[in-house]
Structure 1
Amino acid sequence: MVHTFPIRVYYEDTDMAGIVYYANYLRYIERARSDWVRALGVDQNAMREKDGVVFVVRRVEADYIAPAKFDDELVVRTETKSVTGVRLVMHQEVWRGDTLLFQAEVLVVCVNEAGGAARLPANIRQKLH
Structure 2
Amino acid sequence: MFHCRVYYEDTDLAGIVYYANYLKFIERARSEMIRDAGLDQAQMKQDDGLVFAVRRVEADYVTPARFDDALAVETTVAAQSGARITLQQDVKRDDRLLFSAIVELVCLRADGRPARLPASLRESLPRWVR
The answer for the alignment partner of 1:92 in structure 2 is 89
Divergent runs of 4+, >2 A: 121-124
Unaligned runs of 5+ residues in structure 2 are none
List alignment gaps of at least 5 residues for structure 1: none
Match of 2:119 in 1: 122
Q: Distance in 2 between matches of 1:123 and 1:101?
A: 32
TM-score (norm 1): 0.93
The equivalent of 2:78 in structure 1 is 81
- Which residue number in structure 1 is paired with residue 110 of structure 2? 113
- C-alpha contact (below 8 Å) 2:77/2:85 kept by paired residues: yes
- The code of the aligned residue for 1:95 comes to K
**Residue 37, structure 1, aligned to residue 31, structure 2:** no
Partner of 2:19: helix, strand, or coil? coil
CA root-mean-square deviation: 1.0
Percent identity reads 56
Deviation at 1:128, TM superposition (A): 2.1
Equivalent of 1:12 in 6, 9, 14: 9
Count of paired positions: 126
- Following superposition, the deviation at residue 82 of structure 1 comes to 1.5
Report the alpha carbon displacement of residue 51 of structure 1 after superposing the two structures with TM: 1.8
